[in-house]
A and B are shown apart, each in its own frame.
Chain A
Amino acid sequence: MKPEALLHPTPAGLFCPIGNFYVDPVRPVERALITHGHSDHARSGHGHVLATRQTLDIMAIRYGEEFAGSEQAAAWGEEIFVNGVKVMFRPAGHVLGSAQILIEKDGMRIVVSGDYKRGIDPTCDPFEPIACDVFITEATFGLPVFHHPDPKTEIEKLFTSLKQFPERSHLVGAYALGKAQRVIRLIRDNGYSDPIYIHGALARLCDYYQGQGIELGDIRPATIEKSKPTEFAGAIVVGPPSAFQDRWARRFNEPLIAFASGWMMVRQRAKQGGVELPLVVSDHCDWPELLSTIKEITPEQVWVTHGREEALVRWCELQGIPARPLHLVGYEDEGD
């Protein structure tokens, strides 16, 4: 069987004609398999959704209980047959509940990695390499310029800055699902036990993470607790980056804007966003990790989905690994 007969790109997303399902579709479809809860991968309005329990829970938190017609939870490593096609979910190490999906039929094995990373992250299960014929990889940071440093040393920068600017509120931008909880956890693991203030958009997801046994410590809403900016002097506030450009941010004392993201590797990106303290903390693979993962899995073919497709395809070609870009659109809405 040719791999394209088992799975191929369509405008709605990757489609499996034999199993009649899509993976991470960007439009409402009859049957969807979802890798993880980020809004560019997990959308509401599908007829039936198959995903991990945690991804289903996250979708319900974000879209309401009625996010799909019906749902089915996949356990790690469980063999599930969808119209005769075997599928299996394995951890991707991206955010809580994030999975790679193995799709197999007549000996042809395709792995859709979704978004993934290889670094240590106490807030989710680590990536497990799966042997396969076709490995479909993301390429969000698929350029040689991206190599994410140890997140611990990045978080130390926040504490250095707090010492240098004890009067300023440190506003740490982090996407609501995954990054925010990981950053809070990194701050805690650095020995910080004071309250951390969060934007309202993070509250339910932080509660959910805590309910899943991921300890985040004393977190409080940043909205109602205090009335004067000076009361936030020296405080750590975590929120979605978009909020810092809004009037919301004016309640804080001489706010110092930090942003935890893989994009912060490039100074100009930080400068354009008005970020004073870039923290290179990413939930995606950097360039060396993308390369080492492909070398480790040794697939027959590599398909590259969203991100910097051309550079990773070029590298595969130089290595003699057949590779093609899929040119899927609609991802990267809720990036890193």
Chain B
Amino acid sequence: MKPFATLLDRLVLTPSRNGKLTLLVDYFRTTPDPDRGYGLAALAGALDLKSVKPAMLRELVMERMDEVLFRYSYDYVGDLAETISLVWDGGAKDVADHAPQPRLSEVVKRMNSLGRTEVRGAVRDLLDQLDTSGRFAFLKLATGSLRIGVSARLAKQALADMSGKDIIEIETLWHGLTPPYESLFAWLEGRAEKPVLATPAIFHSVMLANPVEDGDLEKLNPEDYAAEWKWDGIRVQMSSHGGTRKLYSRSGDDITGAFPDVVEAINFDGVIDGELLVGGTKRTNAPTRTFSDLQQRLNRKTVTGKMMDDYPAFVRAYDLLFQGEADVRSEGFLARRDRLAQVIEKAPHDRFDLSDLVPFTDWSELDRLRADPPDPVIEGVMIKRKDSPYQAGRLKGPWFKWKRDPYNIDAVMLYAQRGHGKRSSYYSDFTFGVWTTTEEGEQLVPVGKAYFGFTDAELEVLDKFVRDNTIDRFGPVRAVKATPDFGFVLEVAFEGIARSTRHKSGVAMRFPRIARLRQDKLPRDADRLETLTAMIETREGTL
């Protein structure tokens, strides 16, 4: 447990991606099988471990500790798993540093072999045998709340870095393997052949697109690319093989149980990539409905008949990975699409349709189409190289997403907070506000927070402004001067806006970022809250 616990301790506090990769690679290189495989599973969210209820953990602590002292401790630390890891045995001296501790693989095997009545005693024993940081790691695993800022993708990148293999190869294999991944590590270390997958009826890592950035398209020939609408639903994968039909989210979560209306309609074998939406398919001539309608169906384990009647779900198909058992991912996009069209043609019309291609001759024409799409549930266009094979991950080049222009407002900097890692000596997280009329007159009300979008040179300017114009401090946060005639105006771009009861201003932005520094403007020129609410009303009006 020690190497994994040490890794967690470092990952929690390491903000930079490269720093995390270094720590992960070091862990995978120096930790033996099968422990590292279970560690990998835990990081990638693929570890199956008998769960422990917080209530039982509290009871275990109280067996040996005064309740008042526990409460003081919990109030101070704030996290249950961490508190218990620190105060276990009433805060007695820790296990000797070099005393033997159970290995991660032993912990996993022991926990998963327990009967219901044995859990309490086994957890008590483990807490006795582990040191503070081992207890923390164990409790985080057993309570299922490992939040350490490492995605499955990052863990796989570390595997690629340690072995020199391509991450796409690892992604392709990933969902066919199970912990502790000994065959995977053997291959990564050159000790064995690449593992062979048993069946295609599993989740296959999806292919992702990069956003179009300045200058990207000028270098590309429009004739090499096809375009499709980008629909505002959720990306899914349908996998059907030998009577087993599954629906997965784009990260591989099994969401079959929440969408029986779609899954039961699957009448083909193979793997299809598409967008899950609610409403009617274009073959039923009913409109596609909004993301907020789709949200009614998300994050549920089961679904009622009424829910399915009110919010019928369907899949708009984008791509085909397997046709029957044949892996067609190495074929070009248009070739796969021809196959996909045949499959969808024979599939139930109310549950499946084919994503349309958007004809265009040059990038400026596509730009116009993107800015003014024919359906409000479209959020932009996808651009795909006609001959691109289906490759897992987010490669730069074959696929792009080009969203509708984001919203823009001018706002005033109100608060700033220091960043992390490289930015720990800079004020780089900014809360900004817009004008509104209150009983006390014109005031700036905070509407959001942004911590990227600016260049390093711009950050120097922002940081200096914060340091020179601080009017108050609250812990790590500084309030800066902001009056109608003095302050810092920021042009803020964002992807969407919605009503919010959680924010004082009543609005919440999606992905706000600082688009430009507007030193040419005075705070009095900044936007008003009414502008933002009007954006919401406009959006609602078009839907």
Residues of A that sit less than 8 Å from B by CB: 143-147, 149-150, 153, 164-165, 244-247, 249-250, 254-257, 265-268, 270-272, 274-278, 287-288, 308, 310-311, 314-315, 318
Contacts and interface: CB of A to CB of B under 8 A. Distances in A.
Among A144, A257, A268, A272, chain B packs the most CB atoms within 10 A around the CB of A144
Contact of B97 (A153, A165, A254): A153
Contact of B418 (A245, A270, A271): A245
Contacts of B421: 274, 276
Contacts of A246: 425
B129 interface: no
B72 to A, nearest CB: 5
Nearest to B422: A254
Nearest to B426: A250
Interface of B: 9-10, 12-15, 19, 22-23, 26, 65-66, 68-70, 72-73, 76-79, 82-83, 86-87, 90-94, 97, 132, 418, 420-422, 424-425, 475-476
24 contacts: A144-B65, A145-B87, A147-B91, A147-B93, A149-B132, A164-B26, A165-B19, A165-B22, A245-B418, A245-B424, A245-B425, A254-B422, A266-B86, A268-B78, A274-B424, A275-B13, A276-B421, A277-B13, A287-B91, A288-B91, A308-B72, A314-B69, A315-B66, A315-B69
Given A165-B22, A267-B82, A314-B68, A144 B91 contact: yes
A145 B77 contact: yes
B476 A272 contact: yes
Q: Which of B23, B66, B91, B132 has the most CB of A within 10 A?
A: B91
Nearest to B476: A272
Nearest to A311: B72
B425 A267 contact: no
A161 to B, nearest CB: 8
Given A145-B87, A247-B425, A266-B77, A276 B15 contact: yes
A277 B424 CA distance: 14
Given A257-B424, A274-B424, 12 more contacts: A143-B72, A147-B91, A245-B418, A247-B425, A249-B425, A265-B86, A268-B78, A276-B14, A308-B76, A311-B72, A314-B72, A315-B66
Nearest to B72: A311
Contact of A314 (B10, B66, B422, B476): B66
B127 to A, nearest CB: 14
Contact of B73 (A145, A256, A270): A145
A272 B418 CA distance: 10
B78 to A, nearest CB: 6
B68 A271 contact: no
Contacts of A318: 66
Given A145-B91, A247-B425, A276 B68 contact: no
Contacts of A315: 66, 69
Contact of B13 (A150, A247, A278, A311): A278
B457 to A, nearest CB: 14
B230 to A, nearest CB: 36
Contact of A149 (B22, B72, B97): B97
A244 B425 contact: yes
A162 to B, nearest CB: 12
Contacts of B90: 144
Contacts of A275: 13
A257 B420 CA distance: 10
Contacts of B76: 143, 145, 266, 308
Nearest to A289: B93
A318 B66 CA distance: 9
B389 to A, nearest CB: 37
A145 B425 CA distance: 30
Contact of A268 (B79, B94, B425): B79
A144 B425 contact: no
A245 B66 CA distance: 39
Contacts of A278: 13
A284 to B, nearest CB: 15
A230 to B, nearest CB: 15
Contact of A276 (B19, B70, B73, B418): B19
Nearest to A249: B425
The 3 A-B residue pairs with the shortest CB-CB distance in the complex, in nearest-first order = A144-B91, A145-B86, A274-B424
Nearest to B419: A274
A165 B26 CA distance: 11
Nearest to A148: B94
A276 B13 contact: yes
B425 A250 contact: yes
A65 B90 CA distance: 47
Quick one: which of B14, B23, B65, B425 has the most chain A CB within 10 A?
Answer: B425
